[in-house]
Structure formats: C-alpha cells, structure tokens
Amino acid sequence: MTDSQQILIKGARVIDPADGTDEVGDVLVRDGVIAAKGRAVSAPDGALVVNGTGQVLAPGFIDLHAHLREPGREDRETVATGAAAAARGGFTTVCCMPNTEPAIDSAMMVEFIAAKAREAGPVRMLAIGAVTRGRAGKELAEMEEMASAGAVAFSDDGSPVATGHLMQMALTYASELGLPVIDHCEDHSITRGLGVHEGWVASRLGLEGYPSAGEESTMARDIALAELTGGHFHAAHVSTAGGVELVRQAKARGIRVTAEATPHHLTMSEEWVLGVHGAVAPANALELSAYDTMAKVSPPLRTPADRAALIDALRDGTIDCIATDHAPHTFADKTVPFDEAMVGISVLETALGSLMGLVHAGSLSLPTLVHRLTVAPAMVFGGALAALGSLAVGAPADIVLFDPDEEWAVDPAAFASKGRNTPLAGDRLKGRVTLTVAQGIIAFDAAGLTRGTSA
C-alpha cells in the first residue's frame, strides 16, 4: 500500500453514475479528495501519473453486506484480510455483518471494528449492529448506542429477525435513528437450514430442498411491518422471482423497502451444485463434481428463471444494488458431506469478473453495473455513506480502475482473503481490477501502474 497525496489517472473511460459522466477523461486525486475531473487535466509537480487508456475509471465499489468473521473466527477471515480482498476487488467501502463471536451488538463492539479498520488500511470498514442481543432473537440490542458509535444499519444476518414483534420494534427504533434494518429473509420452519433449492437438482441429488416460499414468506412479513411502522426495511440477498415481485409491489405502494442481489445469484443457478458450472446437466449419471459444497449458499442458488428475474429487476431498479454477501470459510468447513457443509462463498475478489459476464453478454449495460455498485448502495444506506459513490470534485477519493476485457483464471490460492471457498476455481473471467484508491491512498496496484510515473 502506497500513501500518495497526488495521483493523476489519464485517458480512462470515466463512468460516474452520480452525475451521468461517461467519457474519456482524467481524474486528479489530492489530499484525499477528488481535486479535478475532466479532459486534459494537468499533472501537478510530483504527482503520480497513471495511464488509464483502455480502462474504466469509476467510484470505488461499496459493499453493503460482507462477513469478516472477526472477532471469534479469525481462522476464516479478519478485518485486515477482508480489507485486502476488498481492495483487490475494487471495493473501497465494506459494511461488516454482525454475526461474529461475540456478535457486534454493542457500542464497544462497533468501536472494536472501527479500530481494526484503522489498523487495516484505507479501505473503509463499517459495522452493522445486531438487531438483538447476541443475535439470540430474544430482546433488542442497544441500537441508539451502536448508532452513536458509528453503526450504519442493523441486522441479525445470517439469521432472520426472530419474530414479527422484534422486527416491528427494530423498524420503529431504527427509523428514529435514520438507519435501515436489513433482514435475512428465511423461515427456518420451512427451510431447516438447507443449502439447495427445492427443485430438480435437489431431487436428482436426493437432498431436501429450500423452497422459494421459505424466503418470500418472511419478506412479506417484513414489508407489511415496514408499511406499519414507516421504517426502512432492506431485503438482503433477494434470490427469487417471487421476492422481486414483492419488492416491486411494495415500492409501488410507497413503502420504504430497498433490496440487494449478490453476484452469485445474478450469475449462477441451481445446476452449479451439480458441479457443471451452468452447463447442460448430465442426462444420466452424475459427474464426480456433483454435491459441490462450494456452491452451497443461503439462500440457495435458484432456477435460471429466478436469475433472469433478478437481472431484469437490477436493470429496472427494483433491486437497488449489488452486495457480495462475502462469506469466507476454511477448507474444513467445506470438505464434508453436502448436508454438513457451511453455507457461503468468498466473493470480494471475483465479484467484478463474474458481473462483467452480464455486461459482455448484453444483459446489463456497464454504466448500470457501475451505478449498482457505487452510488446506489450509498443512497440505500445514506448517513455515513451519503457522500460516497461519486467522483465529484471535493468527494472522498475512492476510485477503482479496471480493465473490462482482461481475461484471468480464478486461483483461490492467490486470494488475499483467507476464504478460498469459491465454485469459480479454475474458471476464466473477463474484467479485472488494476488499481484501487481508497481515501486518496493506493490500496491495490495490480501491475505496478504507479511505479516510476511521477510527473
């Protein structure tokens, strides 16, 4: 990581959805903020000059949903390794879920995450506070104290808020604090913690399935309670066409509902559990790669029709933004029988490459993708994030530079994250981050772009 007060990136395709910019130009960073944006920006004496020709320059990506495991499971991830993985993926702000051990359920724990983030470097790591004490689903945590300490939202993820009464109270109190309540929408009495969609793949593998209704029933509850309280409900990792329609109808009625989708639910479907990576499934015998625990996630990968509905909803704004649900695990967590394996995928370092597949396929425009990774999540949470996601002069200097056409093979052994758990291992992706600047500081430089480039 290099500390630099002046960086000039020249000749890149600058995409800034906050003001509609999409043109070849230059961006100057000075003293931690965007100092200039436009064409033919002059390099101040001593500035690092980066040639951005053929690349895309955008605001740093913002992730509203990541699991960084610290404290308690530092063998899976730490704030520092999560920050390094985020920088490699172009993320300059990451919101940390509270399902740690102990949970982030107090001002002291929020401050602990802030202190670890300062040690880790320039990538902004912000805490999401638990809705209930210890995430036990029995009594509300001290939400006001956590908000005062810097919590940006509240959630009991990866568990749903246990009862309608708790969700009603959480939405009421969070509304007074101006913060959203994020819910992992799952009815455990229906899903029983299963990690494969209830469909033909589950039947072929002889596994119990997680039906779409297990997600949609809790989402409907939360939408009704948001309407009752006027609070802001944010639906985590929406995965079904039915869930999309619930969000769409709620927004049409003026209810304060926002939603996210993950890179894996946008780009993968249930067939990945068979180990065939979206290809045509075998007609008779199963491949040796079947029961792929790397593709076990909650909510599970759904049908191709669900995936298409998510893409349409992301395109039209029903789904507000993309969030990674980065969930790093150890080798031992995943190398067990499918029913015993932990759910989750390590996503931060592969998010852009997988999502660019939608752009190259013509399913999503590049400006729309950038919007859903930058200004959109900033708008969803507001508060401490409100000033982010923009390249406006005077805005915090959070920048990602990426080559939309660079092909690369996914090698989990090379991840900065401790989590090597990805079903993409060995796959080739197209689109890769080359430079990440967070708060005016170079957090990741893939190819030494800034070496020997002082003006």
Residues belonging to the active site: 325
Residue 364 CB burial class (10 angstroms; 0-12, 13-18, ≥19): buried
CA dihedral 128, 134, 138, 142 (to 10 degrees): -50
**Integer CA distances (angstroms), 62 to 215, 217, 319, in order:** 25, 29, 15
Q: What is the DSSP letter of 44?
A: P
Q: What is the DSSP letter of 43?
A: P
Scored b (16 or more CB within 10 A) or e, 279-297 reads eebeeeeeeeebbbbbbbb
Helix (H) or strand (E) holding 11: strand 6-16
Retrieve residue 129's tokens: 């506070």
How far apart, in whole angstroms, are the C-alpha atoms of residue 356 and residue 266? 11
Retrieve residue 97's tokens: 């879920």
Q: What is the DSSP string of 279-348?
A: SPPPSSSPPTT-S-GGG--SSPP--HHHHHHHHHHHHHTSS-EE---B----HHHHSS-GGGSPP-B--T
From the CA atom positions of the chain, what is the Rg in Å?
21
The CB-side HSE value for 301 (13 A sphere, CA atoms) comes to 27
Q: Is 99 helix (H, G, I), strand (E, B) or coil?
A: coil
**Residue 278's closest CA among 364, 337, 357?**
357
How far apart, in whole angstroms, are the C-alpha atoms of residue 79 and residue 122? 12
